[in-house]
Structure 1
Amino acid sequence: MKSYLPPLRALQAFEAFGRLGSVGGAAQELGVTSGAISQQLKVLEEYLSMKVINKDGRRAALSDEALAYHRLVTEGFDRLRMAQTLVQRAKMGADLKVSGLPTLLLKWLNPLLHDIQSHLGDVPLRLEATHLEPDPDMTAEMFRLTYGNIAQRFPHARKLFTDVCFPACSPALLKEHPEARSVEGLLHMPLIDIDWGPAYRTVPRWADWFSAHGLEEAAFKPVAVHSLSSSALEAAAGGQGVVLAQQSFARFDLELGRLVRLAEDSLPMPEPYYVCWGETTLHQPKAREFLNWLMAMGRDVSTDMQDI
């Protein structure tokens, strides 16, 4: 058996054919003729002494024996493409890309960015707010800010902070309904609920708040249910009702007087928030500096929680 690798051109043609599913598609991507792709596939078959292509009339597909081989070859080419992307980003001074859950970016990260932007020089931040978690290899992302054990699917993850939540409303609503500061009074208030969806069933909601205060069978009906914490906070700031607000998200609204905290005690979130990144992320310009700053901001949140 040969101990060295097959010709790179043959492997490249094989990888492209298996991924795209046709000789024509592989030829177009690699900028060669269909005949050249077919020739390289024959070279690989001769080298491996194994049939890699099955033909059925005019259709061709990978043979069963070649499928596992193709998966490994594809992983290798993915790494090569990742390396090329890394070099191109370094030459171009690529943006520092941060993907995150929408409210985490809007209500926690965004108000803090003025503290780091001057240190990033000419490397701009590109923020992408999305619930959709990126590919675990993080090939298209730099940093991902997310919640809970989903963070463990990424190559690297560090805990930022564990949040707490408590009732809050607008000053005007509290002035009109001072009874809102009591648990029993809250039952008669317009309650704004937040539902993140079935993947986050353990996140505290109003039923959990009342249960934690001895009202397990409390009867209430929310006036609205929001899928985004940020929109629920805005509704509360607008006087529409009382929201079960997270400290990290409501911090600046509380400081600006748009919201008022109604209880001294709080409920902890069941899981922490995390920052995640890929294998090559910290090779990017200013990426390590940004990560260190982000971790420091997370520690500040944790300190604030202890002071509550």
Structure 2
Amino acid sequence: MKLPPLSAIKAFEATARHLSFSRAAEELFVTHAAVSHQIKNLEEWFGTKLFVREGRGIRLSRSGELLYRKVSPALFDIADACRTVKMLVNKESLTVGCIPSIANRWLVPNLNTFTSFRPDLDVKIVYATVDDTLEDNELDVLITTGQAKGHHIVSRWLFSRANKPVCSKAFLQSHDPLNTPQQLLTAPLIHDENRKGWQEWFEAAGVPWKATDSWPLYQDFNLLATAVIAGHGIALCPVEVFRLEIERGDLIILSDISTKNDMGYYASYRENTSDVAIHFVEWFAQFVAEH
């Protein structure tokens, strides 16, 4: 492509838009003489005048008008393309590791409440486990049980981890009364990963209980939740995390006796993290507190 000096084209476009050498110079952060010199070089390159002096001002010549109509949109398109590429290259990112129970019930369904205010942000949500740490992963935020381990970590409280026995409305209607811990002894008790949770709960209730292998174990907490909502039995669930299911009537709390009362779910980040990570944690903590 045979092109004139692009610096001269840029000076011409600014001068033609303002119809002023001085205002073009101010926009381009150069001197009036520098703009005049660029225009003179461009006119020599074309072999024609691009501006005509008119009193104390200037106007575009016929050739200048033709050139301006083509050049100005092209320069704006170039600038827009450069902004887009630069934004993609320098786009802020946020990687959040979250345990499935919180991710599926609270984070993912409501994430657009946060991203709608930051459409330029590249957000990545990944599953985390209770054993994950910020030091071992390339995460900006970690949402899990307990405060994240490590040095210079800030943890923000989200939910209580207090567990209570729950079941579905249909299950309750089709079984004998389940008003006391003793009445739960013969009911189908479903378990999360192991049977230790129910052992702790019956101890807190002051009722002897011997674990049996007659009811299934669900390794994934979301599988356990699906099973209890479907009416397969009674499960120990953190009632704060299942707040919405309880409010809708999908789950019914069978007893006020609870375990893990001193434990909780937290969102954690490093002290030297980005502002966007801090804003995300503040948003999520406020959101779950208000809903």
What TM-score range do you get, normalising by the shorter chain? Answer: 0.5 to 0.7
Output the CA distance in 2 between the equivalents of 1:116 and 1:101.
19
Residue identity matched to 1:232: L
Output the CA distance in 2 between the equivalents of 1:93 and 1:262.
49
Q: 1:258 aligns with which of 250, 256, 261?
A: 250
Q: 2:216 aligns with which of 220, 224, 229?
A: 224
How many residue pairs get matched? 203
Residue identity matched to 1:186: L
Residue identity matched to 2:240: S
Deviation at 1:102, TM superposition (A): 2.0
Residue identity matched to 2:149: Q
Output the CA distance in 2 between the equivalents of 1:181 and 1:91.
60
Name the structure 2 match of 1:193.
191
Cα displacement string for residues 44-102 of structure 1 (whole angstroms, at most 9, x for unaligned residues): xxxxxxxxxxxxxxxxxxxxxxxxxxxxxxxxxxxxxxxxxxxx999432332111222
Output the CA distance in 1 between the equivalents of 2:211 and 2:132.
34
Name the structure 1 match of 2:197.
205
User: For the Cα contact (< 8 Å) 1:171–1:258, is it kept in 2?
Assistant: yes
Name the structure 2 match of 1:108.
106
User: For the Cα contact (< 8 Å) 2:191–2:236, is it kept in 1?
Assistant: yes
Name the structure 1 match of 2:241.
249
Output the CA distance in 2 between the equivalents of 1:280 and 1:120.
21
Output the CA distance in 2 between the equivalents of 1:145 and 1:156.
13
* Secondary structure class of the residue paired with 1:141: coil
Output the CA distance in 2 between the equivalents of 1:207 and 1:169.
18
Name the structure 2 match of 1:78.
none
Provide closer, same or farther for how the CA distance between residues 184 and 106 of structure 1 changes in structure 2, counting only shifts above 3 A.
Answer: same
Runs (5+) with no aligned partner, structure 1:
1-87, 302-308
Please state which structure has a larger fraction of its residues in helix: 1
Deviation at 1:299, TM superposition (A): 4.5
Deviation at 1:260, TM superposition (A): 1.6
Is 1:155 aligned to residue 152 of structure 2?
yes
Q: 1:288 aligns with which of 270, 278, 288?
A: 278
Deviation at 1:207, TM superposition (A): 1.1
Map residues 1-308 of structure 1 onto 2, 5 A cutoff. Answer: 91-131=89-129, 133-134=132-133, 136=135, 140-148=138-146, 151-153=148-150, 155-160=152-157, 161-195=159-193, 205-215=197-207, 217-221=208-212, 223-278=215-270, 280-283=272-275, 286-297=276-287, 299-300=289-290
Provide closer, same or farther for how the CA distance between residues 137 and 287 of structure 1 changes in structure 2, counting only shifts above 3 A.
Answer: same
Residue identity matched to 2:284: L
Cα displacement string for residues 267-308 of structure 1 (whole angstroms, at most 9, x for unaligned residues): 33443322222355324xx3332121123245458xxxxxxx
User: For the Cα contact (< 8 Å) 2:160–2:263, is it kept in 1?
Assistant: yes
Provide closer, same or farther for how the CA distance between residues 154 and 271 of structure 1 changes in structure 2, counting only shifts above 3 A.
Answer: farther
Name the structure 2 match of 1:4.
none
* Secondary structure class of the residue paired with 2:177: helix
User: For the Cα contact (< 8 Å) 1:237–1:258, is it kept in 2?
Assistant: yes
User: For the Cα contact (< 8 Å) 2:205–2:257, is it kept in 1?
Assistant: no
Aligned residues: percent identity? 24
* Secondary structure class of the residue paired with 1:127: strand
* Secondary structure class of the residue paired with 1:281: coil
User: For the Cα contact (< 8 Å) 1:136–1:155, is it kept in 2?
Assistant: no
- Larger C-alpha radius of gyration, 1 or 2? 2
Residue identity matched to 1:133: D
Output the CA distance in 2 between the equivalents of 1:163 and 1:107.
15
Residue identity matched to 2:91: G
- TM-score normalized with structure 2 length: 0.60
* Secondary structure class of the residue paired with 1:288: helix
- TM-score normalized with structure 1 length: 0.57
* Secondary structure class of the residue paired with 1:167: strand
